[in-house]
Structure 1
Amino acid sequence: MKRIRKAVFPVAGLGSRFLPATKVMPKEMLPIVDKPIIQYAVEEAADAGITDMVFIIGRTKRAIADHFDKAYELENELVSRGKHDMLKIVEDTIPRGVNCIFIRQAEALGLGHAVLCAEAVVGNEPFAVLLADDLLDGSVSVTKQMADVFNYHRCSVLGVMEVPREATGSYGVVSTEKDSGEIRRISGIVEKPKPENAPSNLAVVGRYILTPQIFEHLRNLKPGTHGELQLTDAISALLREESVLAYQFNATRYDCGDKLGYLKAMVELGMRHKEIGADFSDFLSQRFAPPA
């Protein structure tokens, strides 16, 4: 089986939880300090050695394609003004050696449908899926961690984390053949179960490495609620013919599809920003210092 060269980024969602900011701007372009959320995901994939970035975009997501395109006018202006530091920032938007491919999803028919849209580009290769809303901050790229697991076990891998049982209704939740361990074989997966019906509190969080067999199961799915194809249902079918592993990754997760999670990411990454981190940390310590 080939190494992982391709990553799929489903970015066609409406971002309704961030209205009115997302009325004209994709939620994936919301910045964490000075870098859009989607760029963190692309850099994570590039750190894993992935070279082909496949974006599944909607009609209103042109800004994402523009962000990862060459900005001739801006670059020429920066050169003429001698602003070479800023020029490097613009040029580094696209990691070196990376190809960006954009596929239009005509209708938002679920995560499974978005992944299926990438089949013609992915072909008969294993591939990664990254949901940019989940910003995963670790010393080693989570996609790199999962690629290493895949390279050893040669089967699909889902990134998981433990969540409070009352929160299982917001995630795909897996059951596994053992109760503990960083890597566990999945025995079942259900989408957004009620807490009392959840098989565990081990939730799938925005990162997948999948074998190409997933496409056959996506094509054979019957549409569910609102006519959507659920990736969870296709993975459940895949389990009947090959192993799928749950990998409990080593990183901090920020749910940037949620306002509170987005603000937490802004604060934590802002405090580490090489340009303003020290001053921002000083401001926070002074602003929120306990009274004397």
Structure 2
Amino acid sequence: MTKRVRTAVFPVAGLGTRFLPATKAMPKEMLTVVDRPLIQYAVDEAREAGIEHFVFVTGRNKGVIEDHFDRQFELETTLEQRGKTEALTELRKDLPSAGRTSFTRQQEPLGLGHAVWCARDIVGDAPFALLLPDMLFKGEPGVLSQMMEAYEQKGGNVVAVEEVPESEVSAYGVVARGEGPDKGFAITGMVEKPRREDAPSNLIISGRYILQPEIFGLLANQTRGAGGEIQITDAMQTLMTRQPFTGVKYEGQSFDCGAKIGFLTANVVYALDREDIRPGFLRELRKLDLGEEFSA
């Protein structure tokens, strides 16, 4: 019988150097797309998929993330006194229930695989979801919900993938596609940042995973890979020789909010999707004299 996935891990220890100086004192995961932090979007996606326990792997200067998922009684009292019930309801809706969040520290920047390994004692001997908050997905249902459907049918490990132009595969982890439909095909191999001519496909790993707990034992003994870091892809390649991996080519739109272009694009798309913002935002955009630069 397939064990239910109840826990999600969120690696939030990164330094966010691509967004300096904004991230000098504020975690990159708290950068906002319109009016919600990136980490909130990832947690919302996990909650929609049925996740009950949220594990954050933090680092230095990340205490504000813990504060974000805690109650602020002074703020709530002020909102209540001023009759701002809509804002108060929204704040309370975003909070996980008491006892549903855990925080652990990655004390050295040793890579994504090491960050996941730091959550081992909290996750325990159970499958878990792994969500990279830098990646923002817009789709209904959410990407993790789509992955859960495949997991319930096939068990094992599940990885979300998307297509990119063949000219871009060298920037990503790429999977080899076996038999099966887009929403649940066998993954027969993985390679990290291959040369274009060596890539097994143009399907890249997209920052959403469902993994079995055996990954922790592999990460404990994983040698450092690219960049001198412990890479999750290396451990998954080993686990693939023992357990099945399923790929899900999700439906939706992705934004790499770890990069400035992706982050700015996400803000525009999400703003235009808001009924309370779209009319005014469009008016302001039309006022801009973008000329040939915009049409090029």
Residue 6 of structure 1 is matched in structure 2 by 7
CA distance in 2, matches of 1:98, 1:153: 31
Tell me, in whole angstroms, the C-alpha distance in 1 between the residues paired with 2:236 and 2:226: 17
**1:169 Cα deviation (Å)?**
2.4
Please tell me whether residue 72 in structure 1 is matched to residue 46 in structure 2: no
Q: 1:179 to 1:194 in 2, by over 3 A?
A: farther
Counterpart of 2:163? 162
- Which ranges in structure 1 are unaligned for 5 or more consecutive residues? none
- 1:155–1:244 Cα contact (<8 Å) kept: yes
Aligned amino acid, residue 147 of structure 1 = M
- 8 A Cα contact 2:225 2:234, kept in partner: no
Quote the offset at 1:256 in angstroms.
0.6
- What is the aligned partner in structure 1 of residue 24 from structure 2? 23
Alignment match, 2:120: 119
Question: For residues 245 and 262 of structure 1, do their structure 2 counterparts lie closer, same or farther at Cα, with a shift above 3 Å needed?
Answer: same
Secondary structure of 2:94's match?
coil
The alignment-based identity, stated in percent, is 46
Query: Counterpart amino acid of 1:38?
Result: I
Q: What letter is aligned with 1:134? A: M
One-letter amino acid of the structure 2 residue matched with residue 39 of structure 1: Q
- The answer as to 2:62 corresponding to 1:58 is no
Partners in 1 of 2:225 and 2:9 — Cα distance? 22
The Cα offsets for residues 98-135 of structure 1, whole Å up to 9 and x where unpaired, read as: 71111111011111111111111111111100001110
Distance in 2 of aligned mates of 1:185 and 1:7: 23
Distance 1:27 1:289, change over 3 A: closer
Alignment of 1:140-289 (within 5 A): 140-178=141-179, 181-285=182-286, 287=288
Aligned to 1:135: 136
Q: Is the 8 A contact 2:41 2:136 kept in 1?
A: yes
CA distance in 1, matches of 2:19, 2:291: 32
The TM-score, its normalising length taken from structure 2, stands at 0.93
1:34 equivalent in structure 2: 35
* Preserved contact between residue 7 and residue 51 of structure 2 (Cα < 8 Å): yes
State how far apart, in whole Å, the 2-side matches of 1:282 and 1:152 are.
47
Is residue 46–residue 98 contact of structure 1 (8 Å, CA) maintained in 2? no
Deviation at 1:145, TM superposition (A): 0.7
Q: Which AA in structure 2 matches 1:119?
A: R
Deviation at 1:74, TM superposition (A): 0.9
Q: How many residues align?
A: 291
Given that 1:7 and 1:53 are in contact with CA atoms closer than 8 Å, whether structure 2 keeps it comes out as: yes
- Counterparts of 2:40 and 2:275 in 1: how far apart (Å)? 17
Unmatched runs of 5 consecutive residues or more in structure 2: none
SS in 2 for 1:92: helix
Give the match for residue 108 of structure 2.
107
Q: Distance in 1 between matches of 2:134 and 2:60?
A: 19
Structure 1's 288 and 271: CA in aligned 2 closer, same or farther, altered over 3 A?
A: farther
Q: 1:218, CA displacement in angstroms?
A: 1.1
For 1:26 and 1:206, the matched residues in 2 are separated by: 19
Counterparts of 1:216 and 1:137, CA distance in 2: 33
Q: By how many angstroms is 1:273 displaced?
A: 1.7
- Distance 1:225-1:173 versus aligned 2 partners, 3 A rule: closer
1:76-117: CA deviation from partner (whole Å, max 9, x where unpaired): 121222222221122123145771111111011111111111
Q: Is the 8 A contact 1:51 1:98 kept in 2?
A: no
**Given residue 202 of structure 1, which amino acid in structure 2 is its aligned partner?**
L
Greater shift in the superposed pair: 229-238 or 97-106:
97-106
Give the aligned CA root-mean-square deviation in angstroms: 1.9
Question: Judging changes above 3 Å, is the alpha-carbon distance between structure 1 residues 288 and 130 closer, same or farther for their aligned structure 2 residues?
Answer: farther
Question: Which letter maps to 2:164?
Answer: V
**1: CA distance, partners of 2:156 / 2:40:** 27
CA distance in 1, matches of 2:124, 2:287: 54
